[in-house]
Structure 1
């Protein structure tokens, strides 16, 4: 018999996944702590879960819970305190020609084509480069989450799509779920620019934090996150200022 679905008034249930290949270190095994995906209250719990260091992937809300590895650290930016660095200001100027549009989190052929190009360039051979429409939806589009796609387009008559920042909205925060962009425009630093614009979005709407998911110690692709200051890190119990120096 399977586990019965949660009912109103039940305690929130958490489950451990089995061991699986780590998505960041090919020589490591990972394990996650997952909120009951069949709980009809996930949308209500989601804001609290972000504050507990959890993350959304599709309809799954999870947090790494590996036995011997503690490399993944949930991080967030206090929106009102953010101060752009010189590099951030340069990135903003470089992309000032782009047009932004917030649209529903619904896959289009254009979104999927850009996503596949991005994965082929950035994650070749990593298992994600074969993703199609179902995998796109399973990973990025939540059935219960309040999600928007933040599009970045050229101001030319073609309005070419250069990037999409998948963004979750809660009453007091935004969560940067995933950003994919045209690999031919990597020199624009579109991932960094997406965070800058998400911070502006959060500030305009009075949201206190922008969640960035996990910073991973020693992983080069995650170093950009520590360049946003002030930055807070979750130690498993509370949010603390991210240290200026990290091992």
Structure 2
């Protein structure tokens, strides 16, 4: 095989499967394997250009007669928190966030299982074992990091080790050349009033701003899917179209 053949990605298409977001439709995916012999710039461009990463596979929808899945990214420098988002931040001031290496732990997996069993028991991740979880977190050829959110103790002298504080949420993210891509996140399902999913997005918008990165990538948004509707709350944003990334005007 030529050197170009080793580094240029080979693409494959999955067989049709029931769409998990739009009832009555079928989905297919275009995917390629991410390996260390591939150019970092090529992989970065794939992930900035509409592909999502799952372990060392980059994929995007490739559905017959359907283009409902739209890649979304938030314009970090133009984003401003509204009143409801400031309330979410205030509700979570007792949490400490810290970036850690992408290494799975039993504590993470327990919280992940609690989240999946409570909120997505019939989804594609319902059967994930502890080994599957470890692969999701650790199997990456890109600059991947985890952000853990832990509950601060009421008595600050009771425990000085942050790692001993209760884990409330976790986000798995990739750092790209122009932004942060949120790969997957989960949280304590019993803490619904905290709006931890939105809080993690707000925290990573702020993190991207501090790093001087212009975008936060939120994956796909699907019109008509309640599961995806929350992404529209983070404005202004751009959507990936056949003409490239274009701004979306906020809904009035």
Both structures adopt the same fold (TM-score exceeding 0.5): yes
**Matching of residues 111-190 of structure 1 within 5 Å:** 111-156=108-153, 157=159, 159-190=165-196
TM-score (norm 1): 0.90
Preserved contact between residue 32 and residue 66 of structure 1 (Cα < 8 Å)? yes
Decide whether aligned partners of structure 1 residues 48 and 163 sit closer, same or farther in structure 2, where only a CA change above 3 A counts: same
1:49 to 2:46 alignment:
yes
Preserved contact between residue 52 and residue 237 of structure 1 (Cα < 8 Å)? no
Q: Distance in 2 between matches of 1:43 and 1:115?
A: 30
1:206 to 2:212 alignment:
yes
- Worse-matched range after superposition: 163-172 or 140-149: 140-149
TM-score (norm 2): 0.88
Preserved contact between residue 149 and residue 165 of structure 1 (Cα < 8 Å)? yes
Preserved contact between residue 21 and residue 30 of structure 1 (Cα < 8 Å)? yes
CA-CA distance at 1:85 after TM superposition:
1.5
Report the secondary structure of 2:190's partner residue.
helix
- Worse-matched range after superposition: 121-130 or 93-102: 121-130
Decide whether aligned partners of structure 1 residues 142 and 236 sit closer, same or farther in structure 2, where only a CA change above 3 A counts: farther
CA-CA distance at 1:24 after TM superposition:
2.3
Which residue does the alignment assign to 2:85? 88
Q: Distance in 2 between matches of 1:40 and 1:17?
A: 24
- Worse-matched range after superposition: 23-32 or 154-163: 23-32
Number of residue pairs matched?
A: 243
Q: Distance in 2 between matches of 1:226 and 1:209?
A: 15
Report the secondary structure of 1:125's partner residue.
coil
Preserved contact between residue 74 and residue 215 of structure 1 (Cα < 8 Å)? yes
Structure 1 unaligned residues grouped into runs of 5+? none
